[in-house]
Amino acid sequence: MAGSSTTPSHPRAAAKPARIDGLRIAAALSGLLPYVIGFASLFLAWHVFAVYVLKSALFPPPLAVFHRTIELIADGSLIENMAISLQRILIGFVLGSVAGVAIGLAIGTFITVRKIVEPWTELLRFIPSVAMITIAVIWFGIGENSKIFLIIYTTIFIVILNTAAGVASITPNKIRAAQMLGASRWQSFIYVALPATVPYILTGMRIAMANSFTTIVAAEMVAASAGLGVMLWNGRLFMQVEDIFVSLLALCFLGFVTDRIFRFGIVKFAGRYSPII
């Protein structure tokens, strides 16, 4: 009797993709496990120190802080202050990074530009951004412009130095090889020099972002009506210790997220983990 014959699928062939997916999930979980252990040990040490060692109302345990965090999220004040501080940081950070990359590329590429700009960078970068708060308020008032100026000031010099170092690290042989293959100076810069400099740029931006968080908190404490710095200051004035710790946790969370973004960018462009991170 004629009929169509079908080839039965082998059970091992069907189980193979599921096994591969299981191995991938296991590998991902094993990669996350050290992070989980690290965070758990941090909060455990916090709990032990607050409850069994210090035993002070000035150092609340994590459960009390988490409870207060939920309350502030529910009334919208925490999210609002986080958004205001993050907006100030991002505006100043982007402007400072763009200017820092442009100046750093120019310094690393042209010797004349380096000699002209180095006195500016080598002198001004040693003035702490916190010391510029008074000048920023005098020049720009207590509005948003003073905070943005401070973030730009905090960011630009770090990005300049790292970008210039990235350009200086490029071996001349790479440029010569590209030119021997027919690349112009502009093509050599775009396809050889700039990609090799990107990890240095991202590393400088990563360091500058951490400094930006420090600067914005100090600036908001001095002259602002909203933001995480204001939450810290009000917590001190009214002895709301839980609010102080909530603000600190919010800064930790925002800083960790932004830092992971930059680390991902560094790994993506560098192709490996840099020894400086």
Residue ranges of the domains in the chain? 14-55, 62-270
Q: Name the class of domain 62-270.
A: mainly alpha
pLDDT value at residue 83: 93
Radius of gyration of the chain, Cα coordinates, nearest whole angstrom: 26
Q: Among 17, 61, 82, which residue's Cα sits nearest to residue 232? A: 82
pLDDT value at residue 9: 52
3-state helix, strand, coil in the chain (%, to 5): 80, 0, 20
pLDDT value at residue 276: 45
pLDDT value at residue 265: 72
pLDDT in tens, the chain (277 residues): 444 455 555 555 545 565 666 666 766 667 677 878 888 898 899 989 988 888 888 899 999 999 999 999 999 999 999 999 999 999 999 999 999 999 998 888 888 888 898 888 888 889 888 889 889 989 988 888 989 999 999 999 999 999 998 888 887 777 778 778 777 777 777 777 788 888 888 888 889 998 999 898 888 888 788 889 999 999 888 888 999 999 999 999 998 888 888 777 777 765 544 444 4
pLDDT value at residue 270: 58
Q: Kindly give, in sequence order, each residue whose CB lies less than 8 Å from that of residue 86, ignoring residues fewer than 6 positions away.
A: 254
Q: How far does Cα 219 stand from its chain's mean position?
A: 19
pLDDT value at residue 15: 53
Lookup result for tokens 């459960």: 63
CA distance 260 to 37: 18
Q: How far does Cα 181 stand from its chain's mean position?
A: 38
- Hey, what amino acid is at 245? F
CA distance 157 to 177: 32
pLDDT value at residue 1: 47
pLDDT value at residue 195: 81
Per the prediction, the chain carries an average pLDDT of: 83
pLDDT value at residue 251: 92
